[in-house]
Chain A
Amino acid sequence: MGQIILGVGDYGASNRPGEEVKTFALGSCVSVILLDPKTRTVGMVHVALPEAAINKAKSLQKPGYFADTGIPALLNEMAKFGCQPKGKGMVVKLCGGANVMDTNDTFQIGKRNALSIKKVLWKYGMGAVAEDLGGNFSRTVTVSVDTGEILLSSPGRPNWKL
């Protein structure tokens, strides 16, 4: 079975039957998963930081790294698969955004990532129908193109679905 593996700051999409879209070990990073029922396309971006303003040059080179440039980049990518470019009709799910224990404001990157992603989605009139965010553990996420089913795993825990 084919797999599209996404690293930090990567985005990708697939409509190939039998394929999976996967990202490993989301710590404070957040995976935005877009499912388009109409074209049966699955898209994902692995967001590491809330805003591209921190490093404009990097956001041009790797837009998926930041929430505010990553989501538009993913939508553009999915448009190549015939999806609606503004995300209309897509199902949104979010995973990741963990924080270390006893964190302070500075270290709440996971929480800030999730907030920034929700703000960007809101601009498109989109909102997550399901999310598995926060906590203090890392998540590996696998999405099936066939079923749109999202499988999460973390060492020392039984796998779960979203």
Chain B
Amino acid sequence: MTEKVDREKIRRVISSVPLLSASATQLLQTTTDPDHDLQSIVRIVKTDATLTARVLKVVNSAAFGLINEITTLDRAISYLGERLIVGIAIGDCASQLFNKDLQGYEAEHGSLWRHDLRTAIASREVVTQTGADINPDLAFTAGLLHDIGKALISDYLSGTAAEIIAKISAEQTSDYLSAEEEMIGFDHARAGHELALAWKLPATIAEVIRFHHTPAAAQPEYRSLVYAVHLGDNIAMMGGCGTGADSMHYRLDTEYSEYLHLDSNTLASILLAVNEEFNKLERSFAEAGDTH
């Protein structure tokens, strides 16, 4: 019999996880404000010596192939773009969650970080290649955090994967998300949303985490972004980069076409771009001595 989970239990799990650093929290707040400028990002990173060192390491990693070393933060940040700065900051302080072995999903080590990074890249590509009026950097950040709830509920799901897959195959349950709810009384989208509230993440990101599998239920003002990450998540799984047993066991909401204009050629071009960018970024993070 699997142990049931309620909100109190999830909150207790969350309380055992380190909080986001002050600089990561500020970066998330600043980058979701449409009126911010690059200098405000530089100012935040400068207050955090560890983050500064990591940013310089990443930009000078061989994966970026720069001929001349970049030694100033201003140049590093304008070269990498704010999405990668936020990515490095979040990846560092939430590494305990991103690096968690998702035993409940029978995932390989490092799957959550790789899936989240690939979803981040894919969500951004969806926005840029469809020409949607969404901040592409915000799509990247939201993509990076969308599945963080899996790290909170994975342990409770131990030993359930085969049964869940059999139920989905027999159409006894709709998808992996509803199966999580049926098995342990909580799904990873709701768990992630609780973390978003505890970490006081911006409302847009909290909304993406909560509704990335059910985008039609998101608040209208956030819905196009939620759809972009919904597609980014599916594209990451199609590229063979899921988080284990649940990969591709979710439903595509084809109503995305109300918000994003995507034909099959554009999708093919997105898949290609995602693969290239993912290989580069994964390498640069690894070379920079990242634990992911």
Contact = CB atoms under 8 A, between A and B. Distances in A.
Contacts of B263: 106
A156 B271 contact: no
B161 interface: yes
B165 A156 contact: yes
Interface stretch (B51-59, B61-69, B243-251): B243-251
A136 B252 contact: no
Given A49-B272, A101-B175, A138 B240 contact: yes
Contact of A137 (B105, B175, B247): B247
A129 interface: no
Interface stretch (A26-34, A35-43, A87-95): A26-34
A55 B107 CA distance: 33
B268 A100 contact: no
Interface string A140-154: 000000000000001
Contact of A156 (B162, B237, B251): B162
A48 interface: yes
B269 A55 contact: yes
A98 interface: yes
Nearest to A136: B248
A99 B237 CA distance: 10
Contacts of A155: 105-107, 161, 244-245, 247
Interface string B135-174: 0000000000000000000000000011011000000000
A109 B238 contact: yes
A70 interface: no
B136 to A, nearest CB: 21
Interface in B249-282: 249-254, 262-265, 267-269, 271-272, 275
Contacts of B244: 155-156
Interface residues of B, number: 35
A54 B272 contact: yes
Chain A contact-residue range equals 35 or more
A157 B240 contact: no
Interface in B201-248: 234, 237-242, 244-245, 247-248
Contacts of A54: 265, 268-269, 272
Nearest to B263: A106
Contact of A25 (B242, B265, B271): B242
A113 B209 CA distance: 31
A106 B263 CA distance: 6
Contacts of A161: none
A2 to B, nearest CB: 21
B250 A106 contact: no
A67 to B, nearest CB: 12
A107 interface: yes
Contacts of A8: 239-240, 275
A112 B263 CA distance: 14
Contacts of A49: 268, 271-272
Q: Which 3 A-B pairs have the closest CB atoms?
A: A156-B245, A156-B161, A25-B240
Given A55-B269, A155-B245, A156-B164, 18 more contacts: A8-B239, A24-B240, A27-B240, A27-B248, A48-B271, A49-B268, A50-B268, A100-B248, A101-B175, A104-B252, A107-B238, A136-B248, A137-B247, A138-B237, A138-B247, A156-B106, A156-B244, A157-B162
25 contacts: A25-B240, A27-B238, A29-B239, A29-B240, A48-B239, A48-B271, A54-B265, A55-B269, A100-B250, A100-B251, A101-B175, A101-B248, A102-B252, A104-B252, A106-B267, A107-B267, A109-B271, A136-B248, A137-B165, A137-B247, A138-B248, A155-B107, A155-B247, A156-B161, A157-B165
